[in-house]
Each structure stands twice: as C-alpha cells, then as structure tokens.
Structure 1
Amino acid sequence: MLDFEALLKENAAQSEQIARLVEQIASLNDRIRELLAVAQRKRRKPAEPKAPPPPPVVDAEAKAAFEARPKPPVLPPKERGKKKGRRPTGRKPMPEHLEAEEHQLRPDCCEHCGSSDLDVADEVVEEKLHVVKEHQRRRVVKRKTCR
C-alpha cells in the first residue's frame, strides 16, 4: 500500500507541473501572436500597378506616311526537316580494325562422358580488351559437345 500512496503523490505532483507548463505555453503563444502582428504591420504594402503611358500624339501627315509605308515581303512556308534518328542504345559492336588474338581450346576428351569423339560444335566468344594504352580484340573458340 505504501507504493500505491507514493505513486498517487508523484502523480499529483506531475499533474501540477504539467498544468504550470501548459500555462507557460499559453503565455508564450500569446507573445508570439503579438510579435507576429507587429511584424505584419511593418511589412510594406504591395506597389500599385502603374497606369500605362498615354499614346503618343501623331499628326495626320505622320499617320498617313506610316500607313503608306511598304509592306514586308511574304515569308515562304518553312520546310520541316527530317527527324533526327535516336542514338542507338546498348553495347557498341566490336571494332573491326582491331587485330584479333585467336585462341582455340580443344579438349582431348569430353568433360561429361570421357569419350574422345568430339563434334564440331564450337562456342565463339569475342571480347574487347583494354591493355595499357592499347586496345585488343580476343576471340576464343571452345569445343563443347561430344558425339
């Protein structure tokens, strides 16, 4: 029971503390409203739009000369150009000017069954190599199947 009474006292103390904090927050909110009102009063009013200037005074002779001026030539219709093609996406094809470094890997026997009768089923792999300051093309041929 002593713990229960202690909890009640602590609860009452915290309730009083919360009530005081709520009052402080309310007074601070009032102060913020006052400062905001002062700041809004000091703000400049938006400038009124200016009236357009009056049209210039033109005498009859100048007006007649303006209306009798030569008209500009008629513009020819514009020709529409062809649409530009889009740039291709993906990997560029292997450059043909590079020398091919050819390797042919032909095993003596089949990896799976061990027979020495191999069919002519080759896997060709071409790759572009970049060695220091030099571009090369490597072509590797592998035999894959047996009879």
Structure 2
Amino acid sequence: MTHDELVDAARGLLTGEHDLIANTANLSALVYQSLPQVNWVGFYLYDGSELVVGPFQGKPACVRIGLDRGVCGAAARTRTTQRVADVHAVADHIACDADSRSEIVVPLVAADELIGVFDIDSPVPDRFTADDQELIEALAAVLIDTIL
C-alpha cells in the first residue's frame, strides 16, 4: 500500500466517527497491518499531567509517561515530531520493548490543546525516513480532523 493509499484508507475508516478511542484503536490497527518493519503502533493520551497509554498494537506498553521523559514526552512537551534513528542513543529513552531500535512520535494537537501522541516503534535501526514522517503526520491530521 502506498502512503497516499494508506492516508485514503485512514480517512475512509475514520470519517464519520468522532470517538477518540474508536478512532485511535482503528488507526493503530490499520497502520500496524500496513507498515512493514514495525513492532508497536499506538497512542498515548494526555490526561492533563502525563501521557497514559491508549489503544495500540504490539507488546504490552508502559502505562504512564511524564512529559519530561523519553521520546514520547519530548514530542508532547515540544509539540514537534521526534524521529529517532537509534533509541539506544537517547539517554532518557523508555524501553517498553527491548527489541525496539528506532521510533517516531507525532504530537496530537487540536485547537492548540495537546490530545496525546502517535507513537510507532521498529526493531530496525533508522527505520523511519522523512517520507515516513510526512505519512505519520498526515495520518495524525486525519485523526485530529475527526475529533474536532
């Protein structure tokens, strides 16, 4: 599936549904089944003080992440995408799955409010390209459009 086809599939799957849990569950499943070489795809939702695990596909995850910790915390705190070629080189990386080697985390912001983050891990070092970043950001935008 091309990146454009994946964005179209996400739009078709999520359009018309406004429930955050339903849409994050379906989007994580779609991406997990569609992207090669990923071992975790999911969401951490912001509860006003920290990130709490939401719908995901993959091994069991860390439940809570402070905004001052790890790649997910950095994405939430700075509201910028974090693309990490080697998570073992990140001093405060939170290793929920020791097999993960690279990660991309896109912040979810709606009406200037932090909703959470979209997190994807891979067992392959340097798995995520600039094109992948563009794709994941586009998928996050589709999700945000459904909950506004």
- TM-score grouping bracket, smaller chain normalisation: under 0.3
TM-score, normalised to structure 1's length?
A: 0.16
Q: Which has the higher contact order (CA 8 A, sep 6+)?
A: 2
Pair member with larger Rg = 1
Higher strand share: 2
Higher helix share: 2
